Amino acid sequence: MAPLSRDLTAGGYGWGVGKSLGLGFVHPDHANPGTTLEIEVLGTRKPITLIPESPYDPYNARLRG
C-alpha cells in the first residue's frame, strides 16, 4: 500500500454515515476512488480507502433508521 503523501489534516467518526472519516492530501497518482493507502495513527499504520465523494447524509436518513 502506498502511504498518504502528506499529513491527515482532520479526522473523526461520522455518526451520520457510520464511518471513521479523514481529510488529507494524496499524490495525484494515488487519488482514484477505491485506492487503498496507509496512514499512521499513534505509531500504528492503518489502511484507508479513498471514497469518490463526501458521504454526506442531507436528510439524516441513517440517524432516523
Each residue's pLDDT tens digit, 11-38: 889 887 788 888 888 888 888 999 998 8
Q: Structural domain tally of the chain?
A: 1
Range of the domain at 11: 2-23+33-64
Domain annotation covers residue 56: yes
Please tell me the total number of residues recorded for the chain in this structure: 65
Domain annotation covers residue 47: yes
pLDDT above 70: residue 59: yes
pLDDT band at 1 (very low <50, low <70, confident <90, very high): low
Domain annotation covers residue 28: no
Q: How far is CA 57 from the centre of its chain?
A: 16
Percent of the chain with pLDDT strictly greater than 70:
83
pLDDT above 60: residue 65: no
Domain annotation covers residue 52: yes
CB atoms within 10 A of CB 30: 15
